[in-house]
Structure 1
C-alpha cells in the first residue's frame, strides 16, 4: 500500500510542484495519473521511489516511511519498485538478455561485476521475464535492432526480473505509435492482473488511461482534483482537470471525486 499524507514538494526555485497530497493506493490497483504538462504528475510518481524527496508531509510504502530511509536502505527499498521511463534507458549496443541482466549488477560481488559473469539463477530469471512480455526469441538480439515497442518490453522485462511489488511508469507509451502503445499497455494490464502488481502510470492519453486503468487520479497545479473509478470520469470531470482557469469545484458522487 502507498499512502501520501499531506505531502508537499517545493523545488529549489520555489515552484510548488505538489500541494497537500492525500492518497491511498492499494496493492494490485492499476492507477492512471492524468493532467496537463507541468501539473505535477511525474513529480508525484517520482516521490514514491525517492527519485524526488518530499518537502513536507509523510509518504509510506507498505508501512515504511520513505523520507526516513538513508544510504543502503534507499537502494534496498528501490529494488521493490520498478520504474519504466519514456526513453527506455537501455544500452542499445548490448543484447536484450544483457540489458535485463543489468538489473542484477548491484547484487553481484566485485569479481562478477568486473568479468560480467552472471549466476545461472539470474539468467533464468532474466529469460523468464522476457518470456512474460513475449520477446524470449529476441534474447540474443542487439537492442538497436528492435522496434520501439520491443525496446519498451525489454525495459519492462528488466523491471519484472527484479520481482517488484510496484511498477511506476512515467509516460511509457509517449514515444510509441498508437498500435504499439496499446500492445505495451496490454502487457502492463496482463501483468497487473496475473501478478497482482500495483501499476501507477503517468499518461497524457486520456482515452488510453480510461481504457486500461481501474482508477483515475487527476492532478491540476500540483493538487489532486479528482480521484475515482474510471466509470466516474465524465466530460465535466475532464474539463475541470484540464481547464486551469476553472475555479468551480466538481460535484461529488459517492466520494468518487475530490475538488479543491
Structure 2
C-alpha cells in the first residue's frame, strides 16, 4: 500500500509542485493520474521511488517511510518499484536482452557489473520477461532497430525482470501513435490483472485513462481535485481538473 499524508513538494526556486496530498493506493490497483502540464503529475509519481524528495508530510510504501531510506536501503527499496519513461531509456546501440539484463546490475558485485557478466538464471529471467511481453524473437536484435512500441515493451520487460510490486509510468505512450499507444496500454492492463502489480500512470490522454484505469486521480495546481472510479468521471470533473493554465516548474 502507498500512502500520502499531507505531502507537499516545493522546489528550490519556490515553485509548489504538490500541496496537501492525501492519497492511499492499495496493492493491485490501476490508477491513472491526469491533469494539465505542470499540475504535478510527474512529481507525484516520482516521489514514490524518491526520484524527488518531498518537502513536508509523510509518504509510506508498505509501511516504510520513504524519506527515512538512504544508501543501500534506498536501493533495495527501489528494486520493488519499476519505472517506465516516455523516452524508453534504453541503451539503443546494444541488444534487447542486454537492455533487460541491466535490471540486475544494481544487485551485482562491481566486477560482474563492470564486465557485463550474468548468470544463466539471470539470462533465463530476462528471456522470460521478453516472452511475457511478446517480443522474445527480438532478444538479440539491437534496440535501435525496433519500433517505438517495441522499445517500450523492452522497457516493460526490463521492469518485469526485477519482479516489482509497483510500476510507475511517466507518460509512457506520449510519443507513440494512437494504435501503438493502445497496444502498450493493453500491456499495462494485462500486467496489472494477471500479475497483480500496482500500476500508476501519469497520462495526458484522458480517453486512454478512462478506458484502461479503474481509478482516476485528477490534479490541478499541485492539489488533488478528483479521486474516484474512472467510470464516474464526467464533464464537470474534467472541467474541475483542467480549468485554468499551469506553468511548468523552472
Partner of 2:208: 208
Q: TM-score, normalised by structure 2?
A: 0.97
Pairs within 5 Å for 1:67-216: 67-216=67-216
In the superposition, the TM-score normalised over structure 1's length comes to 0.93
Aligned-partner SS, 1:37: coil
**In 1, Cα distance between equivalents of 2:114 and 2:88:** 25
What is the aligned partner in structure 2 of residue 39 from structure 1?
A: 39
Shift of 1:59: 0.2
Q: How many residues align?
A: 245
1:62 aligns with 2:25: no
1:110 Cα offset (Å): 2.5
Q: Which residue of 1 aligns with 2:248?
A: none
Deviations along 1:135-179, one digit per CA (max 9) or x if unpaired, are 000000000100000000000000000000000000000000000
Shift of 1:50: 0.2
How far residue 112 of structure 1 moved from its aligned partner, in angstroms, is 1.5
Rounded Cα–Cα distance in structure 2 between residues aligned with 1:242 and 1:127: 42
Please list every run of 5 or more consecutive structure 1 residues that lacks an aligned counterpart in the other structure: 246-260
Distance 1:62 1:111 in 2: 33
Give the C-alpha shift of residue 117 in structure 1. 1.6
Deviations 1:78-112 (A, max 9, x none): 00000000000000010000000011112112332
Using the TM superposition, give the Cα deviation of residue 231 of structure 1 relative to its aligned residue in structure 2, in angstroms. 1.5
- CA drift at 1:72: 1.0
Cα RMSD between the aligned structures?
0.8
What SS class does the counterpart of residue 162 from structure 2 fall into? coil
Match for residue 249 of structure 1? none
Q: Identify the structure with bigger relative contact order (alpha carbons < 8 Å, sequence gap 6+).
A: 2
Stretches of 4+ aligned residues off by more than 6 angstroms: none
Whole-Å separation in 1 of the counterparts to 2:79 and 2:114: 22
Structure 2 equivalent of residue 228 of structure 1: 228
